[in-house]
Amino acid sequence: MEKDKIIINKETNVLNALTEYGFSYNYANKMLRNKDVRLYDQKIKDNLPLSVGDELTFFFTPDGISNVQKFKEIYQDDNVIVIDKSAGVEVEGELEKLTKGIAVHRLDRNTTGIVILAKNKLSEIALTEAFKSHSIIKKYYAEVVGKTNYKNFTFKAYLLKDAKQSLVKIYEKKVKGSVEIITIFNTISSNPSSSIIECSLITGKTHQIRASLAYLGNAIIGDGKYGKNEDNKKFKEKNQRLHSHSLTLQGLKVPLEYLNGKNFKSKPTWLK
């Protein structure tokens, strides 16, 4: 089950709060019937009135994710829009259409978290240059299979795209057509069955984090491409637990120099 929590900021009721969050009216009713909604950790099944400051927690299955809003807006001005993307949404095309923004970097379809889009050509150029120079700092949370003890572990390897299989392969040494990748891993918490890892991208290549962790023997939970089906079934997860949780803007030129030093954060629903 997915989980999220909201703090009420106006007088309302449970159904209105859930639909404003992004659930359809019918799905919100279903959540109440199934007692998947809690007010201050108490299960509720009625459409109760809510006051400012009330804490509403709710649970939903991955199958119900299509009923949830596809993104939350974190920040917006005349030049950029920063959003928190849900699973199942393509950045290029779908998210661009939904936000009327221009994609300058991407997350995999089922990777969640922070994405920044440009709103005009000059901003697109400035952001693209900053991403290409690796000035912008991107950090991810991943929940992986197995116990880990990464402490500022810098993983350097070579990545080769396999277009026929729509995946990438990791090599210890350079092979024809491969590119160097660098990722820094830090274990946040760990137990015998799984670990939470923070992943810092130095380079940003297709499936870099997912393929690297699988190569190291710690595939991301829910990753159907690089993980094992038996592990995903064990954890009852259909979507990869990989979330872009921090984006720090640096190295931006005109017209975005005012955003240098600004940091955006987001917490995945699966992280307790």
Indicate the SS3 state at residue 151: coil
How high is the pLDDT of residue 19? 77
- The tokens for 30 are 């279903």
* C-alpha–C-alpha distance, residues 239 and 28, integer Å: 22
Rg, the chain, Cα only: 20
Amino acid at 162: D
CATH ID of 70-134, from 3.30.70, 3.40.30, 3.10.620, 3.30.1560: 3.30.70
* Domain 2-66, architecture per CATH: Roll (3.10)
- The tokens for 172 are 């210890």
Helices (H), 86-228: 96-99, 121-132, 208-215
Report which DSSP code applies to 220. Answer: B
First CA to last CA distance, the chain:
13
Equal CATH topology for 70-134 and 140-243: no
* C-alpha–C-alpha distance, residues 199 and 248, integer Å: 14
How high is the pLDDT of residue 67? 47
CATH of domain 140-243: 3.30.2350.10
Tens of pLDDT along the chain (272 residues) come to 788 889 998 889 999 888 777 777 778 889 999 999 999 999 999 999 999 999 999 998 755 555 457 888 999 999 999 999 998 888 998 889 888 999 999 999 899 999 999 999 999 999 999 999 999 999 999 999 999 999 999 999 999 999 888 899 999 999 999 999 999 999 999 999 999 999 999 999 999 999 999 999 999 999 999 999 999 999 999 899 999 999 999 999 999 999 999 999 999 989 97
Domains of the chain, residue spans: 2-66, 70-134, 140-243
